[in-house]
Amino acid sequence: MEKKATGNETQLLASTKDVSGCNEGADCRENGLLIRNPKSALRLVEDGNKVHPSQGDKEEAAPIKNGYSGVQSSGPCNGMGGVEDAQCTAPAATTTTTTTTSTTCGAEGQQQLMELEDRETWSKKIDFLLSVIGYAVDLGNVWRFPYICYQNGGGAFLIPYTIMAIFGGIPLFYMELALGQYHRNGCISIWRKICPIFKGIGFAICIIDLYVASYYNTIMAWAFYYLVSSFTAELPWTSCTNAWNTGNCTNYFSKDNVSWTMYSISPAEEFYTRQVLQVHRSNGLDDLGGISWQLTLCLLLIFTIVYFSIWKGVKTSGKVVWVTATFPYIILFILLVRGATLPGAWRGVLYYLKPDWQKLLATEVWVDAAAQIFFSLGPGFGVLLAYASYNKFHNNCYQDALVTSTVNCLTSFVSGFVIFTVLGYMAEMRNEDVSEVAKDTGPSLLFITYAEAIANMPASTFFAIIFFLMLLTLGLDSTFAGLEGVITGVLDEFPHVWSKRRELFVLGLIIICFLGSLATLTFGGAYVVKLFEEYATGPAVLTVVFLEAVAVAWFYGITQFCNDVKEMLGFAPGWYWRICWVAISPIFLLFVTCSFLSNPPELRLFDYNYPYWTTVLGYCIGTSSVICIPIYMVYRLVVTPGTLKERILKSITPETATEIPIGDIRMNAV
């Protein structure tokens, strides 16, 4: 319930007296639990002048500095979860005013009090910004955006990309930041305050995050293997004289005159496929082969770094991102300058940006633009909810959303120049068209094409080390964020079990993720990574965010949500944001989801064509997370007492109020 102190709009709230000091006759009940900082009653101060309201003023509702409004209410606390007002007046000798705060009874109140007092916040605002930027800017910005851009019309692709960002990606990004900051809960428990019947969304998000952690970190293990292999005078993927090379290995950068044929394989490709992945020792998904002990050690070290970065919470991870979020930009700048000085770089840039306006008439271009901006900004993984929940209540999350999303999009665009200047150089050296060089997609673009180009630059060892170190830092940020989404969600849902055992829970989570990654560490692990990337997360996340947008805009109510934002920021979102949240963003998500389901991708990796049953398996894995949503809906309706209509109404009505901080007091907003 909303509470307020009387006074002028510019008055500040400060504590002065312990609750135990209530005067005789004050309305303080023993069986009530006052949800507030265990300091004192309120003192209203304005420019050092003390305010003495009359008794009549205590019964009126007046505006407070942050725009909250409310009136006093009273009611018995019966120990059954009822709410009562606790009114404590200060001694006459002190100049304090009477105020009212909400009282929550029983175990629920104790849990809320524990959550409020123990909730940590970011040490600095910049820690939060760097963490969000580090999460949004990941490996996909480096390899996925440049490839999709030139594949879908070059410079012309920027038009649908920008439109989808303005009307789809950024509004969803802003919505999640605002939800997390206002309700101060993770992806599971937040639904008690929004629309309880959709609580299954939180469980689905946690499962999706675990799937991502099971394959995403394996890609970082590949990068770590490359990093270790780079500490040599001659990079191992520059020659064809190694034990893993075949007779088709052709080094066209050698001084000898070498002809490139349709059977030729570069030493960089053989190093990647035969030494790092060892896919030649697997026959496909039905015969993955043994586990690579080298990659297992690399992944173990990565998870060790992750554990000691996030085990204490955002206080520690907020410091680590000062390195992991800023270092990639330094390296991108160095690689951009180096790439621009290479012969043939202009050919790559021209190929990257040359517009093909006819492509804009193709539906798949718009689908790719929508999917790219969505997965780049990353709503739906619980990360933005978790990170924003550690913000101060009046933090300007609107500004944060615009800044971080803009930085993310610009990083993707600049990464294209970093990649294509090098591809132009490769085309120049091979005496081929850029389109022939740029056939590799996904991780292969980094681990084969770009690695090969680096190997043939002057100071190749130095550039190889900083490049793969950059890939590691890009991946670590996203791993920190994904796991923090799960950790915050579970700890907020079960605070009585895990709130004091965070280190132990994080350790158990890391072990589960490591064991779940074993299939991706086999000789056929690259096939598993591809399957998970395409099917296990894509459609599932799209479905989750679609239902999340519908639940917030249509069940919780767009008016209520905008009022929440106004309480935090002092101004309400305009009509543009309201229309996006109510209609455009859900349609945007439905459009991408239906396009994906109606035309599932035909998977192929290297020379392996995925059989049909793998498509069914992929959809089953994806469904295993989304199925939590209808299951919880049924469970909720079954356990809720009353008629069917009463059950539905109770299930879509927020269970608990959100505590709004005013000075040292938390006021319930309903």
Annotated binding site for Na(+): 134, 136-137, 141, 376, 408, 474, 477-478
Q: At what angle do helices 125-136 and 460-493 cross, to 10 degrees?
A: 110
Q: How far is CA 366 from the centre of its chain?
A: 23
Binding-site positions read 134, 136-137, 141, 376, 408, 474, 477-478
667 close to 654: Cβ distance less than 8 angstroms? no
Q: What is the DSSP letter of 441?
A: -
- SS3 state at 475: helix
How far is it, in rounded angstroms, from Cα 41 to Cα 46? Answer: 17
Query: Which pair of structure tokens corresponds to residue 537?
Result: 């997360």
182 close to 658: Cβ distance less than 8 angstroms? yes
How far is it, in rounded angstroms, from Cα 157 to Cα 357? Answer: 9
Q: At what angle do helices 628-639 and 612-626 cross, to 10 degrees?
A: 30
- SS3 state at 231: coil
- SS3 state at 84: strand
Query: Which pair of structure tokens corresponds to residue 259?
Result: 């002809």
- SS3 state at 446: helix
How far is it, in rounded angstroms, from Cα 310 to Cα 93? Answer: 49
* Residue listed under structure tokens 């309880």: 196
384 close to 175: Cβ distance less than 8 angstroms? no
Residue 168: CA count within 13 A, CB half-sphere: 28
Query: Which pair of structure tokens corresponds to residue 372?
Result: 């790219």
**For residue 642, is it left (φ>0), alpha (ψ between -120 and 50) or beta?**
left
